């Protein structure tokens, strides 16, 4: 007989819980229909699918950058949808995102240093800024000289390193990599994957990695899902 006075074991709270997400653009038909996906605390999930199937749209919903038409997003058990405008900053900063095209993502007016530092400047934690930027530049393989350059003065690979450093600067509990390595050569891909793995080992952060490369995602992730996903959340 189970002991009724025994404490109930804590139910693990997923890092990300997307439930019945439908999302699209303007008045067009939705590109994501009734999709659910759960990423457990500390888990790395790969999301595979052909071009145009809606993976990036779902990733943007998960990153709280695109408002779904219906469905809910929970981050570490906290509802992150249903707000009148954007989700509160405290929720948005729990997620770090890296996109495929660093030139579209990076503000061309900022030096790489400021690109990395900017999210931290908006917090009360500015004292940590020099050390955090230096450590991330080091981890991502950006030499000090590169940090003074602007995006047009560096290669795509160098800019993507800076974008990854920026995504990690607030130490997110969930990192979303949307085709992060699609434009990169094999050695830069390996270097950036290693940075993410080190970060996850150190912090226990969860990962949602979106891409086309099944071999890479299989190697990188605990679980790989094909898009469209099952209509019920993964166990």
Binding interface with ligand ATP (CB under 6 A): 25, 31, 49, 51-57
Smallest distance from ligand ATP to CB 41, Å: 25
Closer by beta carbon to ligand ATP, 66 or else 149: 66
Closer by beta carbon to ligand ATP, 35 or else 170: 35
- ω into residue 228 within 30 of 0, thus cis? yes
Instruction: Give the residue nearest to ligand ATP (CB).
Output: 56
Smallest distance from ligand ATP to CB 53, Å: 4
Smallest distance from ligand ATP to CB 76, Å: 25
Closer by beta carbon to ligand ATP, 25 or else 83: 25
Closer by beta carbon to ligand ATP, 65 or else 128: 65
Closer by beta carbon to ligand ATP, 130 or else 230: 230
Smallest distance from ligand ATP to CB 60, Å: 8
156-168 helix and 129-139 helix, angle to the nearest 10 degrees:
140
Cβ atoms of 22 and 197 within 8 Å: the answer is no
The neighbour count for residue 141, using CB atoms within 10 Å, is 16
Closer by beta carbon to ligand ATP, 48 or else 147: 48
Smallest distance from ligand ATP to CB 46, Å: 13
d(CA 70, CA 47): 21
The neighbour count for residue 55, using CB atoms within 10 Å, is 22
Smallest distance from ligand ATP to CB 50, Å: 7
Helices (H), the chain: 55-62, 89-92, 102-105, 112-121, 129-139, 156-168, 186-203, 214-220
DSSP H or E stretch at residue 39 = strand 32-39
Q: Following DSSP, what letter does each residue of 187-225 receive, concatenated?
A: HHHHHHHHHHHHHHHHH--EEEEEES-HHHHHHH-SEEE
Smallest distance from ligand ATP to CB 156, Å: 16
Closest CA relative to residue 102, chosen from 55, 159, 147, 182:
159
d(CA 26, CA 107): 25
Closer by beta carbon to ligand ATP, 49 or else 151: 49
């Amino acid at each position: 007989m189970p002991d009724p006075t025994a404490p109930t074991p804590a139910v693990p709270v997923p890092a990300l819980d997307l439930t019945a997400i439908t999302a699209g653009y303007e008045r067009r038909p939705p590109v994501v229909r009734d999709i659910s996906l759960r990423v457990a605390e500390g888990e790395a999930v790969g999301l595979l699918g052909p071009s145009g199937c809606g993976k990036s749209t779902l990733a943007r919903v998960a990153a709280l950058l695109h408002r779904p038409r219906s469905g809910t997003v929970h981050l570490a058990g906290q509802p992150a949808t249903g707000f009148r405008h954007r989700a509160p900053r405290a929720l948005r900063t729990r997620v770090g995102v890296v996109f495929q095209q660093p030139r579209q993502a990076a503000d061309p007016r900022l030096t790489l240093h400021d690109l990395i530092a900017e999210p931290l400047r908006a917090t009360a934690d500015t004292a940590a800024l020099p050390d955090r930027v230096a450590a991330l530049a080091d981890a991502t393989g950006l030499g000090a000289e590169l940090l003074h350059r602007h995006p047009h003065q560096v290669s795509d690979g160098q800019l993507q390193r800076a974008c990854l450093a920026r995504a990690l600067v607030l130490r997110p509990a969930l990192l979303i990599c949307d085709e992060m390595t699609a434009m990169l050569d094999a050695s830069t891909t390996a270097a950036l994957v290693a940075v993410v793995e080190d970060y996850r080992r150190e912090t226990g952060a969860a990962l949602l990695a979106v891409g086309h490369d099944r071999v890479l995602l299989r190697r990188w992730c605990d679980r790989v899902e094909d898009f469209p996903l099952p209509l019920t959340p993964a166990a």
